[in-house]
Structure 1
Amino acid sequence: MSWIPEEGKTPVYSWWERLLLSILRTGSLPRHVAFIMDGNRRFARKSKVELIEGHSSGFDKLSETLFWCRDLGIEEVSVYAFSIENFKRPQHEVNDLLDLARSKFQKLFSEIHRLAEKGVRVQVIGNLALLPEDLQEVIRKCVESTKDHSKCTLNVAFAYTSRDELTTAIRSAVESEKDSSAHIEPKTLENHFYGKGRSQVDLIIRTSGEVRLSDFVLWQGSYAVTYFTKVLWPEFRLLNLMAGIFHYQHNYPYISALASKEELK
């Protein structure tokens, strides 16, 4: 399945989905949504298929979800594709996941023209040095080819944890500022985070019923509304996304006021 559906192959909304979407658009919409795509393995066991088929189904759902987000005008999406902690899984599963990633990023590179048409910028955030060199290379080509696109941004967190990002940023900031008398401020660290120009996360959605953030965008999501749903990621539907956005809109006044108070300090 493609990262960006071709014209004529995009999802078709029912009348009630169109109605709910129009209602959603009357309220405040998140500019940046982050997804913790959990439940692929449980989906595979539930469906009695190989684990890698569950992960492949998870990618197909990502493609569909990206279309929904773009249709809603959400400008930035971050997805937790592969945690550094995932390297602790059985080696055969890690190899399968890396093979899947390799094929999907190669597919992405083959669709660069479509990403250009839609103005999609792709960033892969994480400790890429932990990945095989050939996978690093195809990721680099995808990122480089879309770096000037500006309509919307997809951040793919791969070989990522927030602890690693913060540790790397601190080390890099100290190294770059060692000959300066300037103090290291929060903005200094942000300049050394993975990726360029990532905005603060407004809404974090986690599937599968787990109620934790698993070391994902902890800095960028400090004022994010969090929404946990029991649905497994491959079974995630537009209705689940809309429920998450309704939850965001319900909590937006409080979160917005809290963030404003912090900015005044």
Structure 2
Amino acid sequence: MSTIKDLNDGKLPNHIAIIMDGNGRWAKQQGRQRVFGHENGVKAVKQTVENCAKIGLDYLTLYAFSTENWKRPKIEVDTLMKLLVSSLKKELDTLNKNNIKLNAIGNIASLPKKAYKELNEVISKTSENSGMTLTLALSYGAREEIKSAVYEISVKVKNNIISPETIDETIINTHLYTHDLPDVDLLIRTSGEHRISNFLLWQIAYAELYFIDVFWPDFSEHHLVEAIINYQNRERRFGKTSEQLN
């Protein structure tokens, strides 16, 4: 079984993003309610964050709650928000101990007041940390993010702040939620599904995609390491040929 010691330190991804999928189906397998799956999913988050910090990863982004997730049953949404608040309170010391800086992307203002307040407090209390940046995608949707960026750029063009001729990838990047983050190198999705689900569509343009048939609560250090080893064995060409790279 692969461990962190098996990784090539010289070929680590700079930014890993994870679609944490399968909590509900995992709970169903146990004969329990979906809430039970989310509670155990929090444990997998803690373990994965600590393992990524131990590996020396610079950026980790977790798809915690999408804009579409608001459509789920109220009891499930309420539970997810309560878990968010309790987890943030509980893990503040762990974040600081591991020198992890917390960040958040998405329509954060749409979160319940208590969750919004706790999130911002933890972001503030970890802002001086200089190790890994942990980003939570909350009330996040990539299409909404891109639409918002287009709107902001359009307003600036209308007000002669930006010239249409100067609009390039850099201009677009500066108007995305992720303007302070590098592009994703490795995208992992658990549960066996092979979809992106409206997550970081712009930022994963050249990411390596890794789909694993394991529900999120069962995602372990071994699975994380296997995903990174798989990434390290791939050739990233960015449009060039193998001969050009060599």
Kindly tell me the number of residue pairs found equivalent between the two proteins: 238
State how far apart, in whole Å, the 2-side matches of 1:181 and 1:219 are: 21
Q: Structure 1 residues 70 and 176 mapped into 2: Cα distance closer, same or farther (>3 Å)?
A: same
CA contact (8 A) 1:30 1:203 kept: yes
Q: How does 1:165-184 map to 2 (within 5 A)?
A: 165-177=145-157, 178-183=159-164, 184=167
Q: 1:144 aligned to 2:124?
A: yes
Tell me if the contact between 2:185 and 2:207 (Cα under 8 Å) persists in the aligned partners: yes
Cα 1:259/1:133, change in 2 over 3 Å: farther
| Aligned positions of 1:1-265 closer than 5 A | 17=2, 20-25=3-8, 28-109=11-92, 111=93, 114-177=94-157, 178-183=159-164, 184-251=167-234, 253=235, 255=236, 257-258=237-238
Give the deviation of 1:180 after TM superposition.
2.6
Contact 1:25 1:72 (C-alpha < 8 Å) held by counterparts? no
Gap change, CA 1:202 and 1:133, over 3 Å in 2: same
Inter-partner Cα distance in structure 2 for 1:98 and 1:23: 37
Deviations 1:157-200 (A, max 9, x none): 01001111111122222224432352332211211222551111
Query: Post-superposition shift, 1:26?
Result: 5.2
Separation (CA, whole Å) in 2 of partners of 1:120 and 1:191 = 23
SS of residue matched to 1:98? helix
SS of 2:11's equivalent? coil
Tell me which residue corresponds to 1:7: none
Alpha-carbon contact 1:223-1:259 (below 8 Å) kept = no
Conserved? CA contact 2:153–2:162, under 8 Å: no
The TM-score normalised by the length of structure 2 is 0.89
Give the Cα–Cα distance (whole angstroms) in 1 for the partners of residues 152 and 19 of structure 2: 27
In the alignment, the residues of structure 2 paired with residue 210 and residue 181 of structure 1 have an alpha-carbon distance, to the nearest angstrom, of: 41
Deviates more, 1:195-204 or 1:157-166: 195-204
| TM-score, L = length of structure 1 | 0.83
Q: Partner amino acid for 2:57?
A: I
Counting aligned pairs with the same residue, the percent is 34
Tell me how far apart the structure 1 counterparts of residues 9 and 102 of structure 2 sit (CA, whole Å).
Answer: 29
Please state how far the C-alpha of 1:119 moved relative to its aligned partner. Answer: 2.2
